[in-house]
Amino acid sequence: MALLNLNNFLIAAIIIFMIVLMVWLIKHPKSGTLTIRTRKIYIICPVRKLTDPEKEIVLAYVEKKEREGFIVRCPLRDTNQIDEIGLRIVTEHEINDIIWADEIHIWWNPTSEGSLWDFAQARMASYFQEKKIVLINVDEIEITKDEQGNIKKTYTNVLLATHFGLPVTSQGKDLEKAKNKGA
């Protein structure tokens, strides 16, 4: 009798597995096959202009993502910074990091030239590869406005719009609505 119950249990488990697999394949029709792999994240952040408290926050974020099972590359930790003119570093970030990653997570400081460059490269790559771009410190980043309170055309605002998934036809009011909703 116990053997019969075990067989019924195994049959039920197999049926449940097949149902879950079919639902997954219906929701992911492009894949056609079930592949399970670890998601890869590249962190864009300042290196030279990063304060010690910011460095601690970024490295804690990296460790958190790694504990969650992601593979993470972070320039603070993973990039040899000895490069007289920066060309090797830029190339490594474009090829070894941005193209490699499934997701780009950004600790934004608008004064960082390297972060600005990497963000532009990440946006370009996202047009050719499916990449999620996440602004880590979104709660600390304000929409850039001029003295009269009008929204300005800035990379910070482009990054915020990208983070919130706004279409390219978006206006300032759309960014404000997304920022207020996300905050």
Which pLDDT value is given to residue 26? 67
The per-residue b/e assignment along 88-122, b for 16 or more CB within 10 angstroms, e otherwise, is ebeebbbeebbeebbbbbbbbbeebebbbbbbebb
Which pLDDT value is given to residue 135? 95
H/E stretch holding 121 reads helix 113-128
Least confidently predicted of 6-20, 67-81, 150-164 = 6-20
The whole-angstrom separation of Cα 21 and Cα 150 is 50
- What percent of the chain is modeled with pLDDT above 90? 52
> Do residues 111 and 49 lie in contact, with contact meaning Cβ atoms separated by under 8 Å?
yes
Which pLDDT value is given to residue 183? 52
Q: What is the mean pLDDT of residues 38-65?
A: 93
pLDDT in tens, 113-133: 889 989 999 999 988 988 999
pLDDT at residue 35 greater than cutoff 80 = no
Q: What is the mean pLDDT of residues 137-154?
A: 93
| Bigger pLDDT: 85 vs 59 | 59
Which pLDDT value is given to residue 29? 57
Paired tokens of 152 = 């300005």
Whole-number average pLDDT of the chain: 86
Which pLDDT value is given to residue 25? 65
Tokens 């001029």 correspond to 146
pLDDT at residue 168 greater than cutoff 60 = yes
pLDDT at residue 21 greater than cutoff 90 = no
Going from N- to C-terminal start, the domains of the chain cover: 1-35, 40-141
CATH number for region 40-141: 3.40.50.10400
